[in-house]
């Protein structure tokens, strides 16, 4: 899986990370961007990562709620959850904050929106969205360490492999924030 990560210039640790958990009937993709930078952000991201990695059997709403509860006494984090069910071709997703997520195929691109806010702040409503995914399709997620994708660039990205997409986007990282970016074919 093509992945790019970086720490803010001058920091030793990062609060941005990606988790991919292959489950019996699905694949769970999670992108985390803890509020702030450095050691404290890294510890917050560790909390969320530990919850996710130790909850393989949890439903998506229960997993989101568990992260919410554990992050209450921290600065919080913005997190995007996407769970893909290959047999049905359905993608269930929920995001809070400014993590960007796209579904890309040779024929179309689709932005998956997030709710405003921070996980760990007063309770969010977990409005899980569902979308049908056609093959071949890539899932692209990245934190705010990278600039937003301009609409005119999306058709170019749709023609690239996941490795080339991550490489292309990583060139725009300015090192003024932590960054995490990944892209993967969902049907492989």
Radius of gyration of the chain (CA): 16
pLDDT at residue 188 in the model: 62
Does residue 103 have a pLDDT over 90?
yes
For residue range 117-130, what is the model confidence (pLDDT) as tens digits? 999 987 667 889 99
What angle do the packed helices 38-53 and 60-70 form, to 10 degrees?
A: 150
Cα–Cα distance, 43 to 87 (Å, whole number): 36
Cα–Cα distance, 146 to 113 (Å, whole number): 17
Domains of the chain: 3-185 (3.60.40.10)
Predicted TM-score (pTM) above 0.85: yes
For residue range 66-102, what is the model confidence (pLDDT) as tens digits? 999 999 999 999 999 999 999 999 999 999 999 999 9
For residue range 37-77, what is the model confidence (pLDDT) as tens digits? 999 999 999 999 999 999 888 999 999 999 999 999 999 99
For residue range 144-188, what is the model confidence (pLDDT) as tens digits? 999 999 989 999 999 999 999 999 999 999 988 999 999 999 976
């Amino acid at each position: 899986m093509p992945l790019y990560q970086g720490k803010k210039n001058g920091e030793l640790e990062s609060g941005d990370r990606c988790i991919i958990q292959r489950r019996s009937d699905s694949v769970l993709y999670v992108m985390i961007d803890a509020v702030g930078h450095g050691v404290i952000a890294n510890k917050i991201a560790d909390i969320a990562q530990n919850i996710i990695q130790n909850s393989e059997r949890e439903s998506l709403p229960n997993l989101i709620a568990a992260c919410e509860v554990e992050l209450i006494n921290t600065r919080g984090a913005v997190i995007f959850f996407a769970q893909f069910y290959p047999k049905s071709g359905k993608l269930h997703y929920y995001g809070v904050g400014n993590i960007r997520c796209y579904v890309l195929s040779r024929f179309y691109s689709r932005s998956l929106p997030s709710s405003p806010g921070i996980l760990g702040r007063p309770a969010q409503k977990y409005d899980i969205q569902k979308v049908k995914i056609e093959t071949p399709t890539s899932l692209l997620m990245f934190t705010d360490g990278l600039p937003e994708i301009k609409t005119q660039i999306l058709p170019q990205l749709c023609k690239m492999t996941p490795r080339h997409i991550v490489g292309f986007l990583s060139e725009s990282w300015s090192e003024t924030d932590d960054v995490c970016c990944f892209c993967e074919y969902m049907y492989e």
